[in-house]
Amino acid sequence: MTLEAFIQARLTLEPVPGVPEVRLHRAGPRSGLMRLAEADPDFGSPYWARPWGGGLALARYVLDRPDVVAGKRVLDLGAGSGLVAIAAALAGAGEVRAVDVDSYAVAAARLNAAANGVTMEVAQTDLLDGDPPDAELMLVGDLFYDPALAARVELFLRRCLAAGIAVLIGDPWRAPLPADRLRVVAEYPVADFGDPNGATRAAAVFELEG
């Protein structure tokens, strides 16, 4: 069975809690993700199989404020399941690109985009050490969960900001987030499935300022 067929067969396609406009293939207790992990030593953490708090908040904000993305070239950095990119496409973005370093995330994002009837480019790549991309708006959902990664992400986003790219970040106030250097523009209660207990918590949308 191919990865795409596995996701379609074992991860239920259903509306996202708090963002029902978007449907995702989401893992459940009987999805059998351990089969993928056992078959591939590079499987890693299946963060792409569940929506995380920062992505939920950012997707909700984009759908509530379509003017933020309307007609713009938008890039979803660390897209995971593609939730935020899909929300941007549904909200009227002119062009949407979703990137992630994980091949499983890329496969899931492509399937989820098709399931929601949106067109977007999905690519497996690491942009963090390169030049700013061709975009007008950078969307970043829940990439500040690890201190080392958070430092790389912030440096890259500041290069993007200096190049004239606006930056919006969704995050449930995780410890590595540089909150003192960000401006809160919205806040939402979310069911953060990135946490083991799936607890509901506050997540915010932040604007990166120079």
Lowest mean pLDDT among 44-48, 94-98, 175-179: 44-48
Domains of the chain, each with CATH number or no CATH: 3-208 (3.40.50.150)
Q: Is 36 a residue whose pLDDT tops 90? A: no
pLDDT per position as a tens digit, 82-121? 999 999 999 999 999 999 999 989 999 999 999 999 999 9
For residue 37, what pLDDT band results from cuts at 50, 70 and 90? low
Q: Which two tokens stand for residue 200?
A: 């509901």
pLDDT value at position 192?
Answer: 81
pTM: 0.93
The DSSP secondary-structure symbol of 94 reads S
Cα gap 11→7, rounded to integer Å: 5
Q: Are strands 19-26 and 121-124 parallel, antiparallel or unpaired?
A: unpaired
pLDDT (tens digit per residue) in 126-153: 999 999 999 999 999 999 999 999 999 9
Least confident piece of the model among 37-51, 105-119, 180-194? 37-51
- Averaged over 5-9, what is the pLDDT? 86
- Look up residue 163 and give its DSSP letter: T
As a whole number of angstroms, the distance between CA 110 and CA 89 comes to 13
Burial class (CB in 10 A: 0-12, 13-18, 19+), 185: middle
**CA triple 9-15-19, angle to 5 deg:** 145
Other Cβ atoms closer than 10 A to 79: 31
What's the pLDDT score for residue 39? Answer: 65
Q: What pLDDT, on the 0 to 100 scale, is given for residue 184?
A: 98
